[in-house]
Chain A
């Protein structure tokens, strides 16, 4: 089954304790992206990757890191989490970009993170 998976689905942690949220897709997609969803705000892009070893900042990258060592995986790293990073996080992937961006994104199930 074609899908995007994220782990963990739920996480409660404390300020400053490094964590990684994994994202994996089995559709051979070039493009992968991380978003956060907060009440009253739209999905906001954190980082995206157009291909292996190619990553770039989205609209809200502060406090996050990513890596794209393999095509299928795109982990999100919080080196020193803070309470303002409490949010619902989505990973998404899509086929290769062409010029602008018109490819449908496929979203993972979401990770609800609470930082105390």
Chain B
């Protein structure tokens, strides 16, 4: 079983501040890295899928980068708002493998 790690496990951020967190994954045979946002009592929703080394994706105040050589991805949130409070999950996939392997998530709480 592949090991995808996310840090920190949880994070409290003041409203208006920017923040970032990390996803580390095995880089051998890497195919794609996914980020999902999971609000309490809802389903995980896709944010980004990235495949190429150096990829950067952006959606509003949220952006992500990918380093496939060293096996990590960063998720950035600029000017945090209360609605950003959620658990952020990353997942990786590999060539010839039809599965996604998820990390345990970073639980983000925005303090008004």
CB pair B43–A90 under 8 Å, yes or no, is yes
Least CB separation from A43: chain B residue: B102
> Hey, what's the 0/1 contact readout for A91-109 against B, CB within 8 Å counting as 1?
0000001011111111111
With an 8 Å Cβ cutoff, the count of chain A residues facing the other chain is: 29
Q: In chain A, residues 22-69, which have Cβ atoms closer than 8 Å to a Cβ of chain B?
A: 31, 33, 35, 40-45, 48, 50, 56, 58-59
CB pair B94–A100 under 8 Å, yes or no, is yes
**Docked pose: A101 CA to B99 CA in angstroms:** 7
| Chain B interface residue number, banded | 20 to 34
A100-B46 in contact given A40-B104, A43-B102, A45-B100 (Cβ < 8 Å): no
Question: What is the minimal beta-carbon distance from A109 to any residue of chain B, in angstroms?
Answer: 5
**Docked pose: A43 CA to B93 CA in angstroms:** 14
**Docked pose: A100 CA to B23 CA in angstroms:** 19
CB of B51 within 8 A of chain A? yes
B binding-site residues for A, Cβ under 8 Å: 1, 4, 31-32, 34, 42-46, 49, 51, 89, 91, 93-105
**What are 21 residue pairs bridging A and B, where the CB atoms are less than 8 Å apart in the complex?**
A31-B98, A33-B100, A40-B104, A42-B103, A43-B102, A59-B1, A97-B98, A99-B95, A100-B32, A100-B94, A100-B95, A100-B96, A101-B97, A102-B49, A102-B93, A104-B46, A105-B34, A105-B46, A105-B100, A107-B44, A107-B45
